[in-house]
Amino acid sequence: MRNFWRFARHILRYKAIIGMALVAATIAASCYGAGIATIPLVLNAMLGKSERTLPDLVNEVNVKIHHLIPQAWIDMLPTEPFKGVLLVLCSVFILTIIGAIAKYCHTLLAMTACIRTVSNIRKAAFYRVIHFPLRSIVSEGTMDSISRIVRDSNQLSKGFTAITSKAVAELFKGVAALVVAFSLDWKMSLIAMIGTPVLAAVVRYFSKKIKIAARRALGQAAAMLGTITQSVQGIRVVKVHTAERQEVGRFNRANKKLLAAELSMRRAKAMGSPVVETITMVGIIVLGGVSAWYILNGAADRTQAIGALFALGAAGASVRPLMQLTNDIYEAAAAADRLYQLLRMKVEKSRGDTRKRLAQHGRTIEFRDVVFTYPNANTPAINGINLTVNYGEVVAFVGPNGCGKTTLLSLIPRLFDPDSGQVIVDGTDIANVTLKSLRGQIGVVTQETIIFNDTINNNIGYGSGVIDIDLIIDAARAAMADEFIRAKPEGYETIVGEQGVTLSGGQRQRIAIARAILRNPRILILDEATSMIDADSEAQINAVLETFCKNRTSLVIAHRLSTVINADRIVVMNRGKIVDVGKHKDLLDRCGLYQQLCRTQLTDTDAA
């Protein structure tokens, strides 16, 4: 429960709201207790005790509460029994209305504080996830984090609502009823309290079981969310390969595991309530017997004993809701553990959390003895790379699939940090500078183009902070995207759909290239940036990129021979190492791997 209460403390940020909620809860409970306290007055009239009028009974109560009720008010009360009963019943009705309004205000205010608190926790969790190192995301996956932000935070909200709204209301009502019971017959009330530790032990036992099962269920729910997301995002591949049955089977297996976890939790929930009810009923039976003995032996006033018994029953009635609320709290505690674990995970930062900014790049980029291994991999993806790239150079990287080209260039914007070695820009280890000052100088276009469910305008301007439409249009023209954008129904304000579903692969890549051009970076990384574009458009875009690459360092992973030939240098890689570096003609003469790549991978009809 420690983590749950850590999060619950955040509710105190809304002290004014919580304070007003507690005042409203106190008023509601007071009205409830006052209504119960009138029972002896009604019973007195019904049992025919005419020698004690309503003013007499109120005077007795007034003595116990140190004469808080003005005597003039008491003197105004009717002495006739039936009129007294009607007045009491009307008073109970008025108290009920006031209590209902107060309860509404309490619930509304408490839920407001809870919803705002959970919203802040959800915000903090997303901030954490979005700043995770890419290594953590690769090793842990994303669906569990998404589930914690969405499902676990909702479960936490239920727990907060339980402790601030429902539990407070039931607890205050129970306390009010107990106060009335003790004021009417303290001996009987004291006997009733003997069973309280037993009830507390039973509730705690079943709640712990529920917490364990809830934690397991939340984990299985995250796994199922991952299965659903993968299937839906890859729906085109699923349909083309007629793999619907396979995906349904995969979902069913995940769903069965979640079902088993939820059924386990169901058993603990189902058992707890009847056990508590049985103990409560046994307590009421014992109290009934004790009260009957007291009354028949003349040891207690009949009216007050029955009133106390009724008040104790009302207090006991609040135990059953508290059992369910305790279950909600322990389920929320399981969610709190998972959220707290997420918030404790490390985020991207500079070594030593330095505030040093990287100066504007203008000299070299150096890889010095760089080694990097992916999580759970047996061999390094990058193994002892040493390479220096001069400012303004266009350097092409070629090699077989999986040789480490993309991984190597991912080290420059620190998407990954090397296991050993250094990446140095202009003599500064990039691990010692702020990520913003580093990444602000880098533009990246990859083969896997990411387009957001937003306007084309916002997709091109994404991350650059540019809202000038003229600059966005210029970047789109440079990327050969302006023509197809203007052909859209709403032009640059067209919503492209989730993952850019309304665009072709080539159109998505042109928008990504326009995004990089608009950024005007000092370092440009092109990872097969024109792979989805037809040959004619590629030739035009390559001409644009050739101009754009001037006065900036350009690192290109190439799949066409024309790009390689035009590069200042070519880096040939294999199995995480550099095999050779040089010009196209020199490599063609001396490097066997490069010759093979030219025959198989680096195909280009124009270059032939």
pLDDT of residue 162: 85
pLDDT of residue 116: 92
pLDDT digits over 189-206, tens only?
777 676 667 766 776 777
Residue 286 lies in a domain: yes
What's the rounded Cα separation, in Å, for the pair 456 and 2?
Answer: 47
Residue 223 lies in a domain: yes
pLDDT of residue 371: 95
Which CATH number belongs to the domain containing residue 285 in this structure?
1.20.1560.10
Residue 331 lies in a domain: yes
Of 497, 135, 197, 534, residue with least CA distance to 347: 135
pLDDT of residue 372: 94
Residue 351 lies in a domain: no
Strands 364-372 and 382-390 come out as antiparallel
Burial bucket for residue 65 (CB in 10 Å: 0-12, 13-18, 19+): exposed
- What's the domain count of the chain? 1
Residue 307 lies in a domain: yes
pLDDT of residue 167: 77
pTM: 0.74
CA 242 to each of CA 228, 250, 254, 305: distance values in angstroms, whole numbers, following the listed order = 17, 14, 21, 76
What's the rounded Cα separation, in Å, for the pair 478 and 468?
Answer: 16
Amino acid at 221: A
Of 287, 315, 309, 323, residue with least CA distance to 200: 323
Average pLDDT score, the chain = 81
pLDDT digits over 498-526, tens only?
777 788 877 888 888 888 888 888 999 98
What's the rounded Cα separation, in Å, for the pair 516 and 554?
Answer: 12
pLDDT of residue 350: 66
- DSSP secondary structure string for all residues of 59-81: HHHHHHTTS-S-HHHHHTS--SH
pLDDT lower than 50: segments of the chain = 605-608
> For residues 44 and 51, is the Cβ–Cβ distance under 8 A?
no
Residue 490 lies in a domain: no
Domain that holds residue 266: 2-343
Find the helix or strand (DSSP H, E) in which 153 lies.
Answer: helix 153-161
- Distance from CA of residue 220 to its chain's centroid? 16
pLDDT of residue 273: 63
pLDDT of residue 80: 72
Query: What is the C-alpha radius of gyration for the chain, rounded to an integer number of angstroms?
Result: 37
pLDDT of residue 216: 82
Residue 472 lies in a domain: no
Backbone angles phi, psi at 51, to 5 degrees: -70, -15
What's the rounded Cα separation, in Å, for the pair 476 and 484?
Answer: 10
Residue 40 lies in a domain: yes
